[in-house]
Amino acid sequence: MKKILFLSICLLHVLLLPFAGGRAEASDFGERVSGMAEITGLRVSVQDDKVRIVVDADGEVSFKTSALSNPGRILVDLPNTWLSPKVGKNTQIDSEYAKRVRVAQHDKTTVRIVVETEMGKGRYRVFNLSGNRVVMDFGKVDDAAESADVSENTSANTDDSVVPEGVPKLDPEDKINIAKYEETDEGDADAVDVQIANLTGLKGRSITIDPGHGGSDSGAIGPSGLMEKTVTLNVAMEVKRLLEAEGATVYMTRTTDTEVSPKKAHATDIEELQARCDIANRKKSDIFISIHMDSFSSETATGTTGYYYEKGSKKSFELADKVRAGLIEQIRTKNRGTRTCNFYVVRHTDMPATLVEVAFISNRREEALLNSKAGILKAAQGIVDGIADYFG
């Protein structure tokens, strides 16, 4: 009896293990079609002079590459592949040569990788290793490899000595097939941008963003005097910009330091909050996100919390959870979890809704973060990542 129990625990563990880490959702495109290679991993290593991204598959993969400027992005399509749900979809890269890599099941049979990179800073090349690995290098791509790019010389760069330390080592017998890439003209930028928007799933979505407080209501005030209403607006405006760049339609409850209700400072709390809900409900937006900064009597409280209405839908939970996770990934705050609440704005909106407490304005360190341009940009990016994850 004991043995059976032990065995079943082990089995359960093995079954659950691939999904540990939170990104357990199955592909949007359902089951893997037989005969397709599975993309099993994506590794990023950052060197002083280059970034190497290695994509692992359990079978043969080919690829097609295109480049796009303003902003610089390299798209790598892997036909006849299926993305394992355990592969992280969005990885930030701390390098001047590449900023971020995103991977998604682009359609039923193609996995697409998008690398955000600044054109003109170094070079890039994409090549195939022993059939089941695709390697992308960004930065100071060495000359030997570059000449191979032209001559399709397969012997270049098979010497381990040219591989910088820490970069995944390549087997010497691996054959390198360096593919030519197509530079996409500026004129085609729109077409490629549409594809990128499809990748994030944000194109065509309508989203109401509610910067908490405003006007006569400052919200919480930090130890050095920073007002919550200022931070919520700064973050919200950047969220708007990022979402619109991805093709979403954004409705703002306010875009200046003001109350939302036409009664302004004379409105009751309920009238003010209902005015915010009315905007989302009238526009029939797909989701509603209210942005706030947390505050506590003790300065020691820190972290990020996602809230959704206690009687809300599973969708509201998912939205709250993903926005919170996206934020924490960007601003590295303590995880205070995704919690139920009874806040007016999430209770009286008709669509999946969340109220997110980005960080504690009452904590000196987090107040400083919220008072910095870098902090605002990161927080906004985190919220947008969460929204993209929700729709992805």
CA distance 174 to 154: 9
Question: What are residue 232's DSSP bridge partners?
Answer: none
CA distance 58 to 37: 6
Listed in sequence order, the residues at least 6 apart from 303 whose beta carbon sits closer than 8 Å to its beta carbon are 294, 333, 334, 335, 336, 359, 360
Closest distance of CB 208 from Zn ion, Å: 17
Closest distance of CB 230 from Zn ion, Å: 12
> Closest Cα to residue 369, out of 355, 357, 354, 379?
379
Quick one: how far is CA 153 from the chain centroid?
37
Q: Considering CB under 5 A, how many residues would be counted as binding Zn ion?
A: 3
Residue 161 vs 297, nearer CB to Zn ion = 297
Q: What is the footprint of Zn ion within residues 260-299 (CB under 5 A)?
A: 292
Q: Which stretch binds Zn ion (CB under 5 A): 16-24, 54-62, 214-222, 233-241?
A: 214-222
Closest distance of CB 292 from Zn ion, Å: 4
Residue 219 vs 382, nearer CB to Zn ion = 219
Residue 212 vs 352, nearer CB to Zn ion = 212
Q: What is the footprint of Zn ion within residues 40-79 (CB under 5 A)?
A: none
Element at 92 (helix H, strand E): strand 90-92
Coil, strand or helix at 275 = helix
Quick one: how far is CA 267 from the chain centroid?
38
Residue 248 vs 361, nearer CB to Zn ion = 361
For residue 229, state whether it binds Zn ion (rule: CB under 5 A): no
Residue 126 vs 331, nearer CB to Zn ion = 331
Residue 133 vs 213, nearer CB to Zn ion = 213
CA distance 228 to 263: 21
**Of residues 214, 219, 306, 312, which one binds Zn ion by CB under 5 A?**
219
Residue 158 vs 362, nearer CB to Zn ion = 362
Listed in sequence order, the residues at least 6 apart from 2 whose beta carbon sits closer than 8 Å to its beta carbon are none
Q: Which stretch binds Zn ion (CB under 5 A): 175-183, 205-213, 283-291, 320-328?
A: 205-213
For residue 382, state whether it binds Zn ion (rule: CB under 5 A): no
CA distances from residue 6 to 19, 20, 47, 303 in whole angstroms, order as listed: 21, 20, 44, 38
Listed in sequence order, the residues at least 6 apart from 55 whose beta carbon sits closer than 8 Å to its beta carbon are 39, 41, 42, 61, 78, 103, 113, 133, 134, 135, 136
Element at 272 (helix H, strand E): helix 269-283
For residue 212, state whether it binds Zn ion (rule: CB under 5 A): yes
Q: Which stretch binds Zn ion (CB under 5 A): 81-89, 166-174, 212-220, 363-371?
A: 212-220
First vs last C-alpha separation in the chain? 44
Residue 83 vs 346, nearer CB to Zn ion = 346
* CA trace torsion 164, 170, 171, 173 (10° rounding): -100
Residue 148 vs 359, nearer CB to Zn ion = 359
Closest distance of CB 229 from Zn ion, Å: 8
Closest distance of CB 220 from Zn ion, Å: 6
CA distance 199 to 202: 8
User: Binding mask 162-201 vs Zn ion (x if CB under 5 A, - otherwise)?
Assistant: ----------------------------------------
Closest distance of CB 213 from Zn ion, Å: 6
- Which residue of this chain has its Cβ atom nearest to Zn ion in the complex? 292
Residue 111 vs 293, nearer CB to Zn ion = 293
**CB-based contacts of 63-66 (< 8 A; 24+ apart in sequence):** 63/126, 63/128, 63/134, 63/179, 65/126, 65/179, 65/181, 65/182, 66/181, 66/182, 66/183, 66/184, 66/192
CA distance 293 to 304: 9
Q: Which stretch binds Zn ion (CB under 5 A): 30-38, 73-81, 201-209, 215-223?
A: 215-223
Closest distance of CB 228 from Zn ion, Å: 5
Closest distance of CB 59 from Zn ion, Å: 51
Q: What is the β-pairing status of strands 123-129 and 110-116?
A: unpaired
Closest distance of CB 238 from Zn ion, Å: 18
Instruction: Give the interface with Zn ion as residue ranges (CB under 5 A).
Output: 212, 219, 292
